[in-house]
């Protein structure tokens, strides 16, 4: 019942496994007492392997034999680790380690892991049985010292409070706040240490989203105030360039005509950029009405397939049998789907497949656009929705920002996940029956 193997208990002194009486002799005398007022059996506490002490009545007998040393036999008639036998503190400790949404690790003075919570096992990506009793060095042998969750200096008394840590296991990325400190006994002697990890990934994601929304709102306000002022001179410049082109063509000044063509193309690029700025603000003439996402995708599917064929890419569309309508602007939805599909096609560089999957759950319609490209590095995933961030040579860095703004205004969200074998964007839009 103590969880110890026999070999682990052999040769341990009495006070290492039993407490409540100073010695076996005292305990034997208590059991042998003829005092009528103490007719009940003595109670001791027995140490179990996880460090807890469990109370039990005890019967002690003296073994008589030829051996000169005294031998005692202890019988524990009701020694049990059942819940009813645990103290409230012990029950709380057991429940805390199994159910709390915190990563908790306890180490002894040798840096050996003696207890770990279920959440900490999830964060580390290991089963409890595989890592219990391992030292800090063994636990993090494959991790550079500066990136370890736990440092051996922990046992030197170094206190850590709210230390921000980025941690990756094979399946998940965590952003955490870590606290650690030593444990001391009554005489202030260090007897171990603890580490507590709080997963704040969702909080960080929300903060980043709010920060990004603030930036989009600021850019939108600037765009709304300046876009028309930019458009007017652009229109004048474009008109005069066209007049000059006609004049120079009649004089057969082909070189100068080529220069003007370049200027006209650059003005067109500026014009497109201004249009994207306007979409970051409150888009004009937006018409929110019941819209079929399935029909919207079918309308633009020939355009996507045509673009994909030019790059040698196959397109697979997995349709849902029946999708309820969403409240949205169908033209803006087309812009979002086209933009994300176009990005996926460009990422695959003339080979691969593009998959568009429709799904539905209790509250949202999900459209997943997945490519088989090289993927997006982890250190760039948090930046791809930032205004002006782009990895394209001629990109403006506003495409995904505009898409996110459009979907957010419809009450939805865009999520992205990426591996070395491809990237998947999921557009989720709420619907109402």
pLDDT tier at 427 (50, 70, 90 boundaries)? very high
pLDDT at 89: 63
> So what's the pLDDT on residue 394?
65
| Lowest-confidence segment of 275-284, 306-315, 334-343 by average pLDDT | 275-284
Nearest alpha-carbon partner for 54 in 62, 44, 66, 64: 44
Section 175-181 average pLDDT: 85
The predicted model gives 357-379 an average pLDDT of 89
pLDDT on residue 83: 47
Using alpha carbons, select from 377, 355, 362, 350 the residue that is nearest to residue 425. Answer: 355
Q: What is the pLDDT of residues 77-106, one digit of tens each?
A: 877 765 444 556 666 666 677 667 788 888
Mean pLDDT of 296-310: 90
The answer to whether residues 120 and 103 touch, using CB atoms and an 8 Å cutoff, is yes
Kindly state the average pLDDT of the residues 345-367. 90
Tokens coding 396: 């403006």
pTM of the model: 0.45
State the virtual CA torsion across 147, 153, 157, 162 in degrees, nearest 10: 0
Number of H helices, E strands in the chain: 13, 17
Cβ contacts of 84 within 8 Å, gap of 6 or more: none
Q: What share of the chain has pLDDT > 90, as a percent?
A: 12
Q: Are 366 and 359 in contact (CB under 8 A)?
A: yes
Res. 57: pLDDT tops 70: yes
Residue 366 confidence class, pLDDT cut points 50, 70, 90: very high
Lowest mean pLDDT among 60-69, 89-98, 107-116, 382-391: 89-98
Q: In the structure, what pLDDT confidence band is assigned to residue 393 with cuts at 50, 70 and 90?
A: low
Per-residue pLDDT tens digits for 110-156: 888 888 888 888 888 888 878 888 888 888 887 777 777 787 777 88
Which pLDDT band holds residue 295 (cuts at 50, 70, 90)?
A: very high
Contact between 183 and 192 (Cβ < 8 Å): yes
- What is the rounded distance in angstroms from the CA atom of residue 21 to the CA atom of residue 192? 25
Q: Is residue 402 within 8 Å of 280, Cβ to Cβ? A: yes
Structure confidence at residue 69 (pLDDT): 65
167 versus 292: the higher-pLDDT residue is 292
Q: Which tokens in the block code for residue 155?
A: 């046992």
Q: What is the mean pLDDT of residues 257-273?
A: 81
> Residue 317: what pLDDT?
93
Residue with tokens 């206190």: 159
Listed in order, strand segments (DSSP E) in 40-133 are 43-47, 53-57, 59-63, 71-75, 103-107, 113-116
């Amino acid at each position: 019942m103590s969880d110890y193997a026999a070999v682990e208990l052999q040769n341990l002194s009495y006070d290492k496994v039993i407490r409540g009486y100073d010695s076996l002799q005292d305990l034997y005398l208590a059991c042998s007492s003829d005092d009528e007022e103490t007719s009940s059996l003595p109670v001791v506490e027995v140490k179990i392997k996880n460090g807890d002490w469990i109370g039990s009545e005890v019967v002690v007998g003296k073994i008589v034999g030829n051996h000169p040393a005294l031998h005692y036999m202890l019988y524990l008639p009701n020694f049990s680790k059942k819940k009813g036998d645990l103290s409230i503190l012990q029950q709380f400790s057991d429940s805390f380690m199994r159910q709390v949404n915190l990563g908790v690790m306890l180490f002894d003075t040798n840096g050996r892991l003696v207890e770990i919570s279920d959440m900490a096992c999830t964060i580390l990506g290991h089963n409890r049985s595989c890592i219990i009793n391992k030292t800090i060095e063994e636990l993090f042998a494959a991790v550079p010292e500066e990136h370890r969750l736990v440092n051996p200096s922990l046992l030197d008394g170094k206190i850590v409070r709210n230390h921000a840590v980025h941690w990756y296991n094979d399946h998940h990325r965590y952003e955490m706040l870590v606290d650690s400190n030593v444990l001391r006994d009554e005489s202030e002697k260090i007897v171990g240490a603890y580490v507590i990890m709080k997963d704040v990934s969702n909080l960080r994601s929300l903060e980043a989203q709010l920060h990004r929304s603030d930036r989009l709102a600021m850019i939108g306000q600037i765009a709304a105030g300046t876009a028309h002022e930019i458009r007017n001179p652009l229109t004048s410049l474009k008109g005069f360039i066209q007049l000059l082109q006609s004049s120079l063509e009649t004089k057969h000044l082909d070189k100068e005509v080529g220069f003007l063509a370049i200027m006209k193309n650059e003005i067109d690029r500026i014009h497109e950029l201004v249009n994207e700025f306007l979409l970051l603000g409150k888009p004009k003439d937006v018409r929110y009405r019941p819209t079929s996402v399935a029909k919207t995708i079918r309308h633009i599917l020939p355009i996507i397939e045509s673009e994909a064929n030019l790059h040698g890419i196959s397109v697979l569309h997995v349709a849902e049998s029946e999708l309820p309508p969403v409240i949205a602007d169908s033209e803006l939805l087309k812009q979002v789907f086209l933009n994300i599909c176009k990005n996926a096609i460009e990422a695959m560089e003339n080979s691969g497949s593009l998959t568009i999957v429709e799904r539905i759950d209790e509250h949202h319609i999900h459209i997943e656009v997945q490519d088989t490209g090289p993927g997006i590095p982890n250190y760039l995933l948090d930046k791809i929705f930032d205004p002006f961030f782009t990895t394209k040579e001629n990109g403006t860095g506003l495409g995904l920002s505009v898409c996110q703004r459009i979907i957010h205004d419809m009450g939805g969200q865009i999520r992205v996940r990426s591996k070395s074998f491809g990237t998947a964007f999921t557009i989720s839009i709420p619907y109402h029956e």
